[in-house]
Amino acid sequence: MTHADSDAPASDETTAAAASEPVPPAEQRTPRRASAWQTIWVTVLAFVTALAIGAILIAISDQATRDAASYFFSWPWDTFTNAGHAIANAYTALFEGAIFNPKIAASGTLNGYLGPISETLVNATPLIVGGLSVGLAFRAGLFNIGGQGQIIMGAVFAGFVGFHWQMPAGLHVLAGIAAGMVGGAIWGGIAGWLKARTGAHEVITTIMLNYIAYYLLLYLLSVKGFQAPPYGQAISNPVDQNAQLFPLFGDTMRVHAGLIISLIAAVVVWWLLKYSTLGFRLRAVGANQFAARTAGMKVERSYVTVMLIAGALCGLAGVSQILGTNTQITQDIDAGIGFDAITVALLGRANPVGIVFAGLLFGALHAGGSQMQTYTPIDLVQVIQALIVLFIAAPAVIRAIFRMKASGAGVGAELAKGWNG
Q: Where on the chain is the footprint of other proteins (CB under 8 A)?
A: 1-3, 26, 29, 31, 57, 60-61, 143, 145, 194, 197-201, 203-205, 207-209, 211-212, 215-216, 218-219, 222, 339, 342-343, 346, 376-387, 389-390, 393-397, 407-413, 415-420
Write the CB contacts of 54 (distance below 8 Å, at least 6 apart in sequence).
380, 383, 384, 387
How far is Cα 260 from Cα 278, in angstroms, rounded to an integer? 24
Nearest-approach distance from CB 383 to other proteins, in angstroms: 4
How far is Cα 247 from Cα 260, in angstroms, rounded to an integer? 11
Identify the burial level of 269 via C-beta atoms within 10 angstroms of its C-beta, where 0-12 means exposed, 13-18 middle and 19 or more buried: buried
Picking from 410, 372, 256, the residue whose alpha carbon sits closest to that of residue 325 is 256
φ and ψ of 256, to 5 deg:
-130, 175
Picking from 246, 249, 222, 253, the residue whose alpha carbon sits closest to that of residue 235 is 222
Select 178 or 396, whichever has its Cβ closest to other proteins.
396
Write the CB contacts of 27 (distance below 8 Å, at least 6 apart in sequence).
2
Select 7 or 379, whichever has its Cβ closest to other proteins.
379
Nearest-approach distance from CB 216 to other proteins, in angstroms: 7
> What element of type H or E holds 276?
none
Nearest-approach distance from CB 413 to other proteins, in angstroms: 6
Picking from 173, 149, 135, 156, the residue whose alpha carbon sits closest to that of residue 309 is 135
Dihedral sign, Cα of residue 357, residue 360, residue 366, residue 368: negative
Select 207 or 263, whichever has its Cβ closest to other proteins.
207
Select 102 or 296, whichever has its Cβ closest to other proteins.
296
In three-state form (DSSP H/G/I as H, E/B as E, the rest C), the secondary structure along 374-404 is: CCCCCHHHHHHHHHHHHHHHCHHHHHHHHCC
User: Is the preceding peptide bond at 247 cis, omega within 30 degrees of 0?
Assistant: no
How far is Cα 421 from Cα 406, in angstroms, rounded to an integer? 30
